[in-house]
Chain A
Amino acid sequence: MSKEFFYAKTHEWVQFLDDTKARIGISDYAQSELGDLVFISLPEVDDEVNVGEEFADVESVKAVSNVYSPVTGTVTAVNEDLLDQPELVNSDPMEAWFIEVENISDKAELLSELEYKKLIAE
């Protein structure tokens, strides 16, 4: 498994497990801006996700925000632990993946870790 993370401008991360398979979560910056999460809704296995379209939402005591998919593909796994323990995203956002997607046919313009750090520093 590649350890490298790529980022969408909308603050999701992607970790490619191989050429057509990836894990998706939200960045450390995203979780710290949202604050303590109290609820997460996730898609179901076999759902289709599309580049730039929302596939989940996260709720903090401040607001509800959409999570957008950085890739187009089919959901093959969802991290159900997050449903009962949304705080996992706050404590370790890079471990707390939301979904696994296979058959990836398209992806958004993704940033490297360095480029993403520049973006959020702006």
Chain B
Amino acid sequence: MKLIFERGNKNRGCDLVAECDVPLVSVPAAYERKKELNLPQVSETEISRHYTELAGQTFGVNNGFYPLGSCTMKYNPKINDELAKLSEFSDIHPLQGEDTVQGSLYIMRQAEKYLCEITGMDNMDFQPAAGAHGEFTGLKLICAYHQDRNDSKRDKIIVPDSAHGTNPASASMAGFSVINIPSTPDGLVDVEALRSVVGEDTAGFMLTNPNTVGLFEEDILEITSIVHQAGGLNYYDGANLNAIMGVARPGDMGFDVVHLNLHKTFSTPHGGGGPGSGPVGCKKILSRYLPSCKITEKEGILRFADKDEKSIGRVKAFYGNFLVVVRALSYMMSLGADGLKDASQNAVLNANYMMDKLKDVFEIPFGNGRCMHEFVISLDKIKKEKSVTALDFAKALLDYGMHPPTMYFPLIVSEALMVEPTETESKENLDEAIRIYREVYDNACKNPDGFHDYPLTTPIGRPDEVSAARNPILRYNFSD
């Protein structure tokens, strides 16, 4: 399709922008632009068509099945947006007096309370903008905790080899060095391997539970206690919280700090810029290090307390992505405690249903026929026998009008496809997806050669990712 700069014509415009109603002043000559700005010159019709066409090229959960493992692409209820649109939330300024935004402070306090209840934490901070930002913030809390106790030699973070790639990356960003430990043949944390690497230099251990192959870590209490006994802290990556809401709590498993992804588990928009929200929750021992000022109540008025001298300081401007918190609270209050538990149980049921209906054809290396909210397929056999890779398989699914699963993750499974159907898909949708997965597999066995050209029906087929990564073009090249 044409870019907006390639539409329209010189001196065309539209009256979407109101006429200036304040006196014009000129910029000092020294700062004046020598060349015209390259702004699109298009009519309102052209703008409208441009964005409609652009929207037609995207695919979201409103278009179809989107089982992107580890991303929890559940449906985002429209009532969340209706509430976030209220002018009392959307038309306020972060520097407005506390007296005038009592409702917004109440929203943050309620959301904190509910999320603490769900996770078993004592405090929750909404500043981090998304998951990895939450990880970084949580790790900074761990760092501050050890430094505060003059325990300065704790500079290592332990992560399992099945971890989300952001875990070691965040640890490294936060100034730690990373120790990788292998998984057991069953896909779980190797407890003995963990025991052998913890010590006086252990700052903490990062884990997502259920883990990235979709299994609940059965030895979780032993795992967290090994880390605690060595003097380290336990970090819970909340990416997979959708499997356990209302059933199990990271706080009860021995975790000291968590991040959540409101845009995954709590149904707020996700992908394409979100924006996300990655609140950090922690036990009391870490509360004083949190970035934000706490909300306190005095004589019925909510206020921000003074900045704690031990705080690690801001990680984002003001209160994080506040309107995302409004949406997440709307979701929690719409479902209620029982509804959230139902959501998790149905997420697990849907994943097990799909896996069970695929396991006679597809290799599912872990779990012995059971999983939590997601499962991992290995296409290693069909790659070896027919040269059809996980990438080819995923691309073929696009022609069926559905989003493929996550590919090539976790790294411990070769030719991995990671499927997370979520609780918001009906049985009919799952049955249709199962039928298509089986059909594509069958095609891959019979006509493997065609697979390197799929998809055939999407606006873009196979983008040249290698050239894009090696020689990126980062701006439009204007001809003049």
Contacts and interface: CB of A to CB of B under 8 A. Distances in A.
A38 B471 CA distance: 9
Contacts of B469: 38-39, 61
Interface string B159-183: 0000001000000000000000000
A38 B469 CA distance: 6
A61 B466 contact: yes
A65 B161 CA distance: 11
A63 B466 contact: no
B470 interface: yes
A41 B346 CA distance: 44
B160 to A, nearest CB: 15
Interface in B399-416: 407-409, 411
Interface string B454-465: 000000000001
A38 B466 contact: yes
B411 A63 contact: yes
Interface of B: 165, 407-409, 411, 465-466, 469-470
A64 interface: yes
Given A62-B408, A63-B408, A36 B466 contact: yes
Given A38-B470, A86-B470, A87-B470, A61 B465 contact: yes
A64 B409 CA distance: 11
Contacts of A62: 407-408
Contacts of A63: 165, 408-409, 411
18 contacts: A36-B466, A38-B466, A38-B469, A38-B470, A39-B469, A61-B465, A61-B466, A61-B469, A62-B407, A62-B408, A63-B165, A63-B408, A63-B409, A63-B411, A64-B165, A65-B411, A86-B470, A87-B470
A36 B407 CA distance: 16
Interface string A60-76: 01111100000000000
Name, among B411, B465, B470, the residue most crowded by chain A CB atoms within 10 Å (CB to CB): B470
Given A62-B407, A63-B165, 14 more contacts: A36-B466, A38-B466, A38-B469, A38-B470, A39-B469, A61-B466, A61-B469, A62-B408, A63-B408, A63-B409, A64-B165, A65-B411, A86-B470, A87-B470
Interface residues of A, number: 10
Interface of B is mostly: mixed
Q: Which 7 A-B pairs have the closest CB atoms?
A: A38-B469, A36-B466, A61-B465, A62-B408, A38-B470, A63-B408, A61-B469
A61 B411 CA distance: 14
Contacts of A38: 466, 469-470
Contacts of B470: 38, 86-87
A86 B470 CA distance: 9
Contacts of A65: 411
A100 to B, nearest CB: 25
Contacts of B408: 62-63
Interface string A30-42: 0000001011000
Nearest to A35: B466
A35 to B, nearest CB: 8
Contacts of B411: 63, 65
Interface in A22-59: 36, 38-39
A96 B175 CA distance: 31
Nearest to B165: A64
B462 to A, nearest CB: 11
A18 B309 CA distance: 58
B470 to A, nearest CB: 5
Nearest to B390: A62
Nearest to A87: B470
Contacts of A36: 466
A122 B407 CA distance: 23
Nearest to B407: A62
B480 to A, nearest CB: 31
Nearest to A84: B470
Contacts of A64: 165
A4 B469 CA distance: 34
Interface in A94-121: none
Nearest to B391: A62
A14 B82 CA distance: 62
A36 B469 CA distance: 10
A36 B471 CA distance: 13
A37 B466 CA distance: 8
Contacts of B165: 63-64
Contacts of A61: 465-466, 469
Contacts of B407: 62
A10 to B, nearest CB: 12
Contacts of A87: 470
A62 B394 CA distance: 13
A64 B469 CA distance: 13
A86 to B, nearest CB: 7
B55 to A, nearest CB: 27
